[in-house]
A and B are shown apart, each in its own frame.
Chain A
Amino acid sequence: MKAAFIDVLDSITSLACIDVFGSYRVGLRELPRPAKGNLIPNLDKEADGNASLVASVVGFTGDDLRGALLLATTFEVIARARPSGLAQQSLSKDSYSDWVMVRDWASELGNQILGRIKNKLRPFNVVLEVSTPTAFSGRALAFAKPKSPLARPFLFDTRGDRVWLWLDASFDPRQVLVSGSEESAKEGDVILF
């Protein structure tokens, strides 16, 4: 299969985010992409003004693609997306330790989204090295201009809450990817040797 790099990135990034949240029982609906001049909105204004926000960043590098993935949403969405075995334990925005847990899980979700993107790019012979994620939180998060003019913004809705995702990556948009390399193991696979 042949496809333009930019089209492959758009489709697998959006799907990776939907699939990861879906695997933790949180359904996402993709909304129209933010306008080009508004790639990095002020989250505090776009969200409910009192929303408590959390964001995670994971860097990656490779011969064909390098940059960072940024995931941002509300405390409530991350708390709702916790693994089912832990979901019955409710988290409070008033608890310092619960904020630590929410940042920890936001980091892991960002890591899992990037993991999916990485695994889906592998058959196109695009290989990425992924760094360890980091997360931060606050009430008035806003982000500087993306490093890459090709940054891909994605916006999702879940029960009225927003999930923002940016793939701030440098790549050659004219590059045509050809699939055919060995596929990666898929999410949920259990391989015993």
Chain B
Amino acid sequence: MGKRVMVVDDSTTVRQEVVAILGPAGFDMLEAMDGEDGLKRLESAEDIALVLCDVNMPRMNGIEMLRLARERGLTTPFVMLTTEGQPELIARAKSLGAKGWIVKPFAADLLIMAVKKLTGSDAG
């Protein structure tokens, strides 16, 4: 079984797209529909190697999810996967300990490369 990656996005299609890219590359995929759902899953599953997280989501946005995860002592690496590209937001995510920022739409090969690098995985 490959490293477990959780994708947090309110768009079902985006989640499916990420799963369709990373699943065949050898990763074990988990999905969450917003920051609140993602945080619950992150707290209950200890084996998540990386979180790919949208920023603009209902109920709880991705930056808030990252902030709360760190506040609760969760150190899982985050990569923000979003349409946002504003330098202030990127700096905010970085200051909260995010490991990367990907602007949608993304290329499948670059996503795989980034996830492999950040999970230290040679899966696929």
Residues of A within 8 A of B (CB): 20, 23-24, 82-86, 100-101, 104-105, 107-108, 111-112, 114-116, 118-119, 122, 127, 130-132, 182-193
In the complex formed, the residue of A with least CB distance to B95 is A193
Q: How many residues of B contact A (CB 8 A)?
A: 37
- Among B14, B16, B57, B105: residue with most chain A CB under 10 A: B105
B17 engages A115 (CB within 8 Å): no
- Among B83, B100, B104: residue with most chain A CB under 10 A: B83
Separation of A24 and B108 alpha carbons in the complex (Å):
12
User: B13: CB under 8 A from chain A?
Assistant: yes
23 A-B pairs in the complex with CB atoms less than 8 angstroms apart: A83-B13, A86-B13, A104-B11, A104-B12, A108-B13, A112-B104, A115-B82, A115-B104, A122-B85, A122-B86, A184-B85, A184-B86, A185-B85, A185-B101, A186-B103, A187-B103, A188-B103, A188-B105, A189-B101, A192-B100, A192-B114, A193-B100, A193-B101
Contacts of B94 in A (CB 8 A): 193
CB distance from A54 to the nearest CB of B (A): 13
Given contacts A130-B56, A187-B103, A187-B105, contact A101 B13 (CB under 8 A): yes
B20 engages A85 (CB within 8 Å): yes
